[in-house]
Structure 1
């Protein structure tokens, strides 16, 4: 899908819904707690077990909310048992692929958008039934099914809505005599990073002015680069996903800019920069989604009130860019209990809790730190008023969101891009060489993908 069309569609629908939710209570007529679903009866010999494979950790605050919702569903449906199977996010896609091939696929999966292409191409996800779509369309914000759609088919129910944004430590800004906002341009970011940087006598960072993600995952590094490159006018692939489009001066300038921050000694480049932000070893960074809230609200490490967010700085186009991705719940084609699985995730994402006015999954997402995807959650999510959420929300309101790539081997291609581009940021390879090699390898993989079709 064309990035501008995608962004405009989501933006218009989100803003219209936001305004509407400010003047009306939207939960009327929606399913509420205590209303039984149409789940079929379990066999008399025992409960129907729905396996739910996810990377959500049930012992973390947002995971506890999910666990409570699952327990509630089991109370409402005593013949149903939800078996949660935790898998680390880095292992989730291969685990699902292997499980399906061996005939032991989970019934329900929670997956990232970058996994959608591989699972859809392998025929592993069911299309959302029309009966479910009728319920979902009444509750969800229009346009957000895009995160769960591939090849013109809706293959799941969107849960997470994650634009990227700049994050700043307000205490450090104040100490450096800087205003309580985020840098507005590339030039301002460099100026602020210099003022915020503190060094030990031996030259090591005491506080890095800016922190650049260079290793946690290909998706994270891709988001880092294109949050700057897109604002320069750069692009990743052609709209049909078949040709490389990133070996251009616009992308090269963005890579050189980040490499320059490192070489000037005012930025650190490393994996999991959120850890440095949380421990106040870095003052500014790009958050890969509002879920960073969960990182800043950990027990005994609560620093959430020290951070604000804002738009990414604007490059040559004069317009910021916020690459955005989503997560979704889907039912596998290998499910032994498809009907019950769809009923469970439909209840989870659309049934409204009378106490909060939010859906069960909306409560989970609010605790995690995600932009809401349903009308009741948009109307009742208190986190939207928090200072940390302002930059993510502003990116949506002003139409600066652009889609992360969704297609076959999306993460593999992003990992390839990361492996070639990171050395340029670290100064061990020229940007021209890195982009040329990344372009050649990426195009070779794309050619393989589409030759097999």
Structure 2
């Protein structure tokens, strides 16, 4: 049954509706609600801490509320997100996606942002770290805006360096390897101290060292270089470390919580971890070495110093708008607010890894993060562990499997990387 309303009658009704929207308790007085999906730390970083609520300006300017849907597990976030984005319509307006899931097949589920960017630009877009933008493109179309990062550094306990008579930090990769050996020792009470300890399940940790020698698993344009001399040399070195006890005996299974405990207890002298771990390590209530942990960008090998720039490994989260979302202009305003200079700084003060280089110059942030200058330099030169392609996750697992086989002495390093290359190549399509 079809009903019709005269233009005059429609105008009266529309006027009444507009009036009621302006009245407290009116039928249309309710604020809009934007639903954001992510990890619990994303909500905390955006709303809670010394930086204040970074969503406040967005909420006031748009008369909107933010409904957070969060999980404590990264996989749970992406299972829900990718399922929602595959439906004909979703109630999720904006979501966080980690770079490991930002592969072409997934990115195409999210709105290309170029048109929105043209209509309402993001403030000082050239301020974002360049290594965080390229992985978010399919062709020339940008599908996400970086919002949080974790960039790897070498973290060391300066008290243990002093204990072993070391007076300066290494300036070449060769000096770093000698330092790792020197910091491996057994105390009088029988406690074993490892010169280096890191989790063996992330390609980024191995690449933090391999890139000092010019090594990599794959180049940014998708070429597999794992079996070339620099990567093989790195794994041969690590296999020697493992055999000599520089790396822990349970190297393949140790997790980050254990690494944190070992660092705080002085059972490990150096680790590869994001800069942000310094806050936890330097917590004086968790061990006797509070305040003694420092960061260092791993130095390049002598023959590469000044010729090849070190590229720290980085993991990052981005804000995306599902293609099937219903409030895309509102979603874009949320993204613009959080990725503005003020939003980035507020979240950084709340513990978020800031994706803008200029944020590190903020005086409050420098006071809270003594390592701010080092992290800024690292972020500016950073690059993700593997290029984005649809089978990236499977390729990552293969590289790790073969890398562990080499380090644990189950295969010669060259054979392990030859095998990895043969197994990954078919995944590139």
Distance 1:389 1:421 in 2: 32
The answer to whether the aligner puts 1:324 opposite 2:314 as a matched pair is: yes
The SS at the match of 1:51 is strand
Could you tell me which of 365, 378, 382 is aligned with 2:348?
365
Quote the Cα distance in structure 1 between the aligned partners of 2:282 and 2:185.
25
Q: How far does the alpha carbon of each residue in 1:320-352 deviate from its partner, in whole angstroms, 9 at most, with x for none? A: 4423343211111121221211111211221xx
Match of 1:171 among 159, 173, 187: 159
CA RMSD, aligned part only?
3.4
SS at match of 1:362: helix
Matches within 5 A, 1:245-264: 245-264=225-244
Q: Which 5+ residue runs of structure 2 have no aligned equivalent?
A: 1-20
Q: Which is worse superposed, 144-153 or 429-438? A: 144-153
1:308 equivalent in structure 2: 294
Aligned residue number for residue 270 of structure 2:
284
Q: Residue 308 of structure 1 aligns to a residue in which SS? A: strand
Distance in 2 (alpha carbons) for counterparts of 1:438 and 1:263: 22
Matches of 1:155 and 1:425 in 2, distance apart? 38
| Secondary structure class of the residue paired with 1:370 | coil
1:70-109 map, 5 Å: 70=55, 73-74=58-59, 77-102=62-87, 103-104=89-90, 106-109=92-95
User: Does the C-alpha gap of structure 1 residues 299 and 202 become closer, same or farther in structure 2, counting only changes over 3 Å?
Assistant: closer
Match of 2:199 in 1: 213
**Counterpart-to-counterpart distance in 1, 2:303 and 2:77:** 37
Give distance in 1, aligned partners of 2:27 and 2:325.
16
Do structure 1's residue 224 and structure 2's residue 205 form an aligned pair?
yes
Where 1:247 maps in the other structure, the secondary structure is coil
**Partner Cα separation in structure 2 for residue 105 and residue 411 of structure 1:** 28
Displacement after TM superposition at 1:373 (Å): 0.6
- How far 1:275 sits from its partner (Å)? 4.4
Quote the offset at 1:367 in angstroms.
3.8
2:17 equivalent in structure 1: none
Instruction: Give the CA deviation at 1:277.
Output: 2.4
Moved more, 432-441 or 321-330: 321-330
Residue 138 of structure 1: how far off its partner (Å): 3.0
CA contact (8 A) 1:70 1:82 kept: no
The range that moved more, 272-281 or 104-113, is 272-281
Equivalent position of 1:8 in the other structure? none
Q: CA deviation at 1:238?
A: 4.6
Could you say which residue in structure 2 is the equivalent of 1:55? 39
CA distance in 2: counterparts of 1:175 and 1:53, whole angstroms: 47
Match of 1:266 among 241, 246, 257: 246
Distance 1:59 1:300 in 2: 26
Gaps of 5+ in 1: 1-39, 216-220, 351-357, 448-453
Residue 171 to residue 325, structure 1, CA distance change in 2 (3 Å): same
The one-character-per-residue Cα deviations of 1:356-406 (angstroms, maximum 9, x if unpaired) are xx522332234436354164x244254446443454344467x5x444333
Deviation for aligned residue 1:184:
2.8
The higher radius of gyration belongs to 2
Secondary structure in structure 2 of the residue aligned to 1:427: coil
Partner Cα separation in structure 2 for residue 67 and residue 299 of structure 1: 25
Match of 1:164, SS state, is strand
1:233 CA drift (Å): 2.7
Instruction: Return the offset for 1:442.
Output: 0.8
Displacement of 1:72: 6.2
| Aligned positions, number | 388
Distance 1:394 1:435, change over 3 A: same
Contact in 1 for aligned 2:129/2:356 (Cα 8 Å): no
Distance 1:276 1:54, change over 3 A: farther
Contact 2:180 2:196 in 1 (8 A): yes
- Does the residue aligned with 1:416 lie in a helix, a strand or coil? helix
**8 Å CA contact retained: 2:46, 2:54:** no
1: distance between equivalents of 2:180 and 2:46? 33
Name the stretch that deviates more: 378-387 or 418-427.
378-387
Find out whether 1:342 has 2:325 as its counterpart: no
Shift of 1:214: 0.4
Q: 1: distance between equivalents of 2:128 and 2:85?
A: 32
Which structure 2 residues correspond to residues 32-43 of structure 1 after superposition, within 5 A? none
SS at match of 2:205: helix
Shift in Å, 1:255: 0.7
What whole-Å deviation, never above 9, does each CA across 1:253-300 have from its counterpart, x for those lacking one?
A: 10111121111112222332344324432111122x323245336694
Q: Normalising by structure 2, report the TM-score.
A: 0.77
